[in-house]
Structure 1
Amino acid sequence: MSAPRSKDGLKETERPLVIRQLESSSMIEIPVSVQGKQINAIIVTASEVTLISDRVYRALETKPGIKAEFTLRGAGREMEMIGYLLDTTSIDIDSLEFKENLYVALIEDDMLIGLDFMTKHKATLNMKENSFHIQDKVVPFEPKTEASVHAVSTVRIRTARRVSVPARSVLQLQCVPDQPLEDKPYLIQPEVRTMFACRVCIEGKQVPTMAFINLSDRKVTLFKNQRVGTAYEVDEILPEDGNKPEATFRTLQTSMNDNSEIPEHLQDLYQRSCLGLDEYQRAELKQLLISYADVFSSHEFDIGNFRAIEHAIDTGDARPIKQ
């Protein structure tokens, strides 16, 4: 299968790589050595690639370099995570040494031996004898029968309401998870294409708060219930080292119960529209104008554009006057 190349010249997949159909504490486990570190590997023919956990990678004394970033897909629909392709890595199985390009991802098991490694080295499983055969070696294993879904815990993060991020600004926004977060630390991986966003580490009981950076000269709108990230369960959050860089953007902060003021260009409209409204209706009107402030022109040159529909103007035989 041909694949496009990334900016560093490496091939990238046209679709997410499937890393596992069913997670288990289980099944076929053999001892291996990765870069001299002894670990246990699970043989998973449902995995397209061979990969190690981020914990194992961090524990290696000699860490292979990272070549590229990939999207890896786990069990279930839209269960994706970011993974990394490593430079040549040494794997030792029963005194046989292999040089492979492994992947690193947020998985619970130390290592998954996938179909790519099995096919390349013509490895086979003999379930009758409970043995793993590779080249001239026979590695025995004790199969475990209790399988369980053991995928990395992921939760989608969405916006609670519509909000606009002004030009050249940073907006800190409280978001909502699709389901309650467990009392564990999480890493939120941003998934916004119209702006930059920062990865965020939070404790499970904290309200997910993300920072969105609009570097453009126009405001950018985030719509209600828009998916802006995915929270991945992690083992722990380490304290950050060094000094924080100085911010060069004006920072706005908003929450799910926002008490922002009406933008200046809408204040006259608000005052004129409040006639005859009670206090509750005025509060609703205020929130409506704040949420949809980007729909109204802020000055005579703030026209905007709409690209969802195309149309043609029939001028007959008349030729253009100006181009």
Structure 2
Amino acid sequence: MSDGVYVKGFVEDVPIVFTADTVASKTVISSKVFKSVNQGRQPALEKSSCLIGAGGTTIQECGKAKFTLKLGPLEITSEAIIADIEDEALLGYDVLKGREHGAADILLSKNKIVLDGVEIPCFQVGKNDKTRRVVVADDLNTPGQSEMIIDVYVSRKEEDDFDHEAEYLVEPSEHLAERYKLAMASTLVNINQATTCKVRVLNPFREEVSLKQDAEIGKAEKIERIVNVIAEQENTRETENQAQVGRVETRSNKHDGDMQLPFEPSTEEKVPRHLHDLFSKTIQGRSEKEKQAIAGLFGKYSSTFSTDELDIGLTNLIEHSIDTGDAKPIKQRPRRVPLAFANEEKQAIEDRLKKGLSKKARHLVQVP
């Protein structure tokens, strides 16, 4: 439905929604609605004058006849033109001008039209109606480190029952991550397909999160035109899982499982002394298995780190070659230092050589 004022009613025995159009001089019924009228109640059509649209274009018409129109509680007989229009029916000025009581009063603030002394309910469709609240349909708990398909309600309006294109894009609300520590995937839904809609929420943390019924978690905005729809698909690796909740594979899950590490886990006592401070900072907030894995990592690659301020990396360069697999060996250029630090670098090398470094190291360092 486009923006406008609408009235629920009937043409003969067919329920329709009239579009109140004060600009239209004549009431017009779509040919589709006319074909839906029981043949026994279809009036014979007469030739009518040429209809001109708002843009000056000619509208294809089938003829005119008198119909029984029911507008809310008001029933009248009026002439209407049958034509190929997008709306089900246009309620023109010929009806809205009224009879004994004068022209109709359209009271948008009260959502009603007063015609011939009768109050007719109406509803409005406008840009402000496009954004809807999305709330949880029932109490639920989202387990830690899991994703879940949940039922939600998208707020509805009276005119939604007559909307043939009720597609809405559901997105997380601004406070979802802050208040509930959850994430939600954007989802395209049709609010007229079922009472509730389904969306996916993700709990990336270990703690369980509870959601109460009617908790607002998102917003829905109407999509004017749908190009395509992404079909729902479960995790392809979980071929046997038909449950509502699917586990999320995270780094913590991998460490808790049987993941093969390129080194053996170790203990804090075996961490080299020059890496104790770094190890203490790294293991904060980690599980016991993660601490053992980090200890093993530091143990295997301890020579990568300088042992003291005099360690310039020559020992590691000579004794531990870089493993490049099937690729060619890596050739490193001789180490150079700025002239301002040449004396300090030279002194450090000489001190290191005095402590037993092989002569081979002399050719790996060039000091200007």
Structure having greater relative contact order (Cα 8 Å, sep ≥ 6) = 1
Question: Which is helix-richer, 1 or 2?
Answer: 2
Relative to the length of structure 2, the TM-score reads 0.32
